[in-house]
Structure 1
Amino acid sequence: MSQKSYLLDTNVLLHDANSILSFQDNEVILPLPVIEELDRFKKDGNENGRNARQVSRELDRLRQIGVLTNGGVALENGGLLRVVVTSNGCLDQLPHELRSPTADHQILALAIQEQHRCDGPVILVTKDINLRIKAHAVGLQAEDYETDKISLDDLYSGTAQLDLTSEQIDRFFQKQQLGTIEQTFPPHICLNIRALDNLQQKAVGRFDPKQQAILPLRGGPQDGYWGIAARNLEQKFALELLSHPDIHLVTLVGRAGTGKTLLALAAGLQSVTESSLYSKLLVSRPVFPMGRDLGFLPGDVEEKLAPWMQPINDNLDLLFSDGGMRRKQQRHEELKEMGIISVEPLTYIRGRSIPRQYLIVDEAQNLTPHEVKTIITRAGEGSKIVLTGDPEQIDNPYVDASSNGLTYVVERFRESPLAGHILLNRGERSPLAAAASELL
């Protein structure tokens, strides 16, 4: 079988700085206009700038090993990297409408040039939909960069149905565990158990990777987690994971109104103030506007961030108003002043170490896989991280429902004994919110 050649667009490198190593032992081609575009991004302070600088450093390293043009340089995964330049009259191969010397048109012309030169197929890889359409129009193969994409239809739910006999369920209740099941389960998966010979007999449990057994869910506080009780089975599973000290990373995915943020805050407050498992509750979210941005806001840092952090404060207000009398008397502003609760943006998390804290990252679907990695690697000894979000509501223009950091973490950590996950489907905010989430 002939070797394939993958010609990469700039946006692929900005999305994943290690993308040149994602094509196995095939040839990777970088057009010179792509390197020109990288140069314009390298001074940016965001992830695009970091990725552009990382790619430039890697190309400089490879340049010292061999000649990037002509024969190219061998990569450690067995592939080959080449940098190609536009030959004279290369744009003349394109239709008249595409002959303006833009970077996209030069990339198309180079792809056609390489198609004539290479024995195997040349495939243009770009995250630009319109460029893929143009490539198809001029007879080129084109595809999206999907190495880190996760299909929402196949996203791990964190729950499963388990069919047993009545005798096995009786033994489960008697011994408070069940370890003689032939099936294998991912760590901390939550199970809805029923008896095949008696459909009225049911139980719920969680697979514990340490004991290699199914354990019953632990009973929560009598008055709920900071006054909040589960309204459905999915929320009950979520509170089990959120409050369990052996589970250091929890991901909650669900539509608006399923209770993700409220459950996380309630379990976090309970773990910090009542159980004293952590020294501080740190709540954060990325700063991305929905719709047109308001522009620069007046005031100090706290005043500027107030609109972005208001959804978190709304949930805290609800928790403190609906809790017991003692909790009503102690406002969350007081806990903030005492340093027990902190609401911060994610902007300044790089370089920090966060020991023995309960960290909640709301709206995590707006983060890239690299940004989520940066957050999780901040966790110090004894810390717990909770990521919540809805992949169907993304405001970050550089990620989508399949390539965002939240779904990426769900799939990568599904076999880790340190992590647990629940997919919430049932809306509990209000009948109107549930209907809007379903119908709109």
Structure 2
Amino acid sequence: MAGRKQTKIFVLDTNVILHDHNCIYQFKDNDIVIPLTVLEELDKFKKGNDPINFQAREFVRVLDDIVGEQLFNGGIKLNPESGKLIIATGKPFSDTMKQSFKEDIPDHRILAVAEFYTHENPKRKTILVTKDINLRMKAKSLGIVSEDYENDKIKDPEVFEKSILEIEGYSDGLIEKIYNEGAISLADSTLPDAPIPNKYYIFKGNKSSVLARYEASTNRIVRVEKTVAYGIKPRNAEQTFSLNSLLNPDIKLVSLSGKAGTGKTLLALAAAMEQHKQYDQILLARPIVALSNRDLGFLPGDAEEKISPYMQPLFDNLSVIKHAFNPRSQEYQKIDELLKEQRLIITPLAYIRGRSLSNAFFIVDEAQNLTPHEIKTIITRAGEGTKMVFTGDLQQIDSPYLDMKSNGLAYMTDRMRKQELFSHVNLVKGERSYLAELASDLL
């Protein structure tokens, strides 16, 4: 008779809860231990408008719903299939810990709890879960098993590099047919694999080539033409594909990834301006990740002056579009008009949290600095007629607890990539300048 599988004990760090306030429901039938010092740290984060403040408040509400004396005495089951949730009071530092860590700080108190459960339960595996790499290294130095929070990490980070498929030696006859008829059936396309919706292709024959997209609703490979959006002309195939997604009314959610200078934000804003008559409002927002993770209150000036440096790159992109036209032109004046009427708004992401966005073109810049939960919260605010665009560079993640596999932009792209209303394009070629391209590649 096979023995029952031995469950594990997971000790959670504060940053896991601040990353996902529902994390306690992600450990199946294993026990979860939350050190009391974690609750003390969460209390410091309850006030404020930043994402981590929201996560802290939501977790406290979740905990309040299940609170009971058993939480501190043996634990309480969250549901019939789950393990127990335990709030652990502080544990004494072992001699090894005293010799290794002189300071009595929250991280070390969490380590002490993890060490206690490791020694008290030799037949069960105790794991410290933290998004802090340094704390994981400290734990391992004490012989404590430690892991990152993996629940919302993508399995295949190369999904970003596979957004465009280039096929060499394609039939010149089929390329000519795509040009002349605008599309061919999937059955006639001779593709090696079944494509996902809105997959982009560069077909290269001996004498010709063509840009195309798989249209799932009609099961066809359709030609993608180079289109100008509010004075901005695509300079390469990647930018052409990006504008195709951005200008397609049937694609409601777009993800644009790529290094600095590839034109992600500029293309998104140009596409929004090109379609300004179709939407009640154009919103361009970005999360604020303060320097050294310090609150904006540390910066001088009033609220607008504190925020201004973070929003300036967005205004720079708007300036590029404006200067594609004569200052006396209707297009130039329309931008100023939309800004004045607040139909074109550039704002920190926190300022629009909680709003219901109906018939809006909503661009979220620097989305690689958002958690998966934050991305979900934003998308679920989309009302009827709204199009959402997320742009970001996975090589420039400013949050200390996110990486290429766990950030919101990667998570969303991985989960949504097979949906007909979604499209993703990874831009590789920099178009800002040769110097910018060289620096991005070499430095």
- Structure 2 residue aligned with 1:342: 345
Aligned equivalent of 1:271, options 272, 275, 282: 275
- Structure 2 residue aligned with 1:323: 325
Aligned equivalent of 1:211, options 215, 218, 221: 218
- Structure 2 residue aligned with 1:431: 434
Deviation at 1:218, TM superposition (A): 4.5
Over 3 Å counting, the alpha-carbon distance change for 1:9 and 1:345 in structure 2 is closer
- Structure 2 residue aligned with 1:91: 94
Deviations 1:164-191 (A, max 9, x none): 5444434434443222157322211111
Aligned equivalent of 1:385, options 382, 385, 388: 388
Q: Distance in 2 between matches of 1:413 and 1:60?
A: 33
Aligned equivalent of 2:412, options 409, 422, 428: 409
Q: Distance in 2 between matches of 1:172 and 1:97?
A: 68
CA contact (8 A) 2:78 2:85 kept: no
Task: State whether structure 2 residue 133 is matched by structure 1 residue 129.
Answer: yes
Range with greater deviation from structure 2 (30-39 or 226-235): 30-39
TM-score by length of structure 2 reads 0.87
Deviation at 1:68, TM superposition (A): 2.3
Q: Distance in 2 between matches of 1:340 and 1:172?
A: 39
Q: Distance in 2 between matches of 1:131 and 1:409?
A: 28
Deviations 1:248-273 (A, max 9, x none): 1111111111011111111111111x
Task: State whether structure 2 residue 190 is matched by structure 1 residue 190.
Answer: no
Task: State the SS of the aligned residue for 2:34.
Answer: strand
Aligned equivalent of 1:395, options 387, 395, 398: 398
Q: Distance in 1 between matches of 2:367 and 2:211?
A: 28
- Structure 2 residue aligned with 1:313: 315
- Structure 2 residue aligned with 1:176: 182
Q: Distance in 1 between matches of 2:136 and 2:307?
A: 39
Deviation at 1:101, TM superposition (A): 4.2
- Structure 1 residue aligned with 2:165: 160
Task: State the SS of the aligned residue for 1:204.
Answer: strand
5 Å-filtered alignment, 1:349-360, equals: 349-360=352-363
Q: Distance in 2 between matches of 1:146 and 1:137?
A: 21
Task: State whether structure 2 residue 230 is matched by structure 1 residue 226.
Answer: yes
How many pairs align? 429
- Structure 1 residue aligned with 2:117: 114
Task: State whether structure 2 residue 287 is matched by structure 1 residue 286.
Answer: yes
Task: State the SS of the aligned residue for 1:266.
Answer: helix
Q: Distance in 1 between matches of 2:249 and 2:131?
A: 40
AA partner of residue 229 (structure 1):
K
Q: Distance in 2 between matches of 1:44 and 1:19?
A: 21
AA partner of residue 48 (structure 1):
I
CA contact (8 A) 1:271 1:278 kept: yes
Percent identity over the alignment is: 41
AA partner of residue 106 (structure 2):
A
Runs of at least 5 residues in structure 2 that lack an aligned partner in the other structure: none
- Structure 1 residue aligned with 2:375: 372
- Structure 2 residue aligned with 1:139: 143
Deviations 1:87-137 (A, max 9, x none): 875534634233654333332222222223322211111122222122111
Over 3 Å counting, the alpha-carbon distance change for 1:294 and 1:425 in structure 2 is farther
Task: State the SS of the aligned residue for 1:155.
Answer: helix
- Structure 2 residue aligned with 1:29: 33
Over 3 Å counting, the alpha-carbon distance change for 1:134 and 1:216 in structure 2 is same
AA partner of residue 317 (structure 1):
S
Task: State the SS of the aligned residue for 1:334.
Answer: helix
Over 3 Å counting, the alpha-carbon distance change for 1:305 and 1:14 in structure 2 is closer
Runs of at least 5 residues in structure 1 that lack an aligned partner in the other structure: none
Deviations 1:57-103 (A, max 9, x none): 32333335x82245432234833123253587553463423365433
CA contact (8 A) 2:75 2:87 kept: no
Over 3 Å counting, the alpha-carbon distance change for 1:48 and 1:88 in structure 2 is closer
Task: State the SS of the aligned residue for 1:94.
Answer: helix
Task: State the SS of the aligned residue for 1:347.
Answer: helix
Aligned equivalent of 2:106, options 103, 118, 122: 103
CA contact (8 A) 2:157 2:410 kept: no
CA contact (8 A) 1:21 1:77 kept: no
Deviation at 1:433, TM superposition (A): 0.6
5 Å-filtered alignment, 1:289-300, equals: 289=290, 295-298=298-301
Q: Distance in 1 between matches of 2:91 and 2:307?
A: 53
AA partner of residue 160 (structure 1):
L
CA contact (8 A) 1:254 1:423 kept: yes
Over 3 Å counting, the alpha-carbon distance change for 1:104 and 1:437 in structure 2 is same
Q: Distance in 2 between matches of 1:342 and 1:32?
A: 43
Deviation at 1:3, TM superposition (A): 1.9
AA partner of residue 169 (structure 1):
I
Deviation at 1:44, TM superposition (A): 4.1
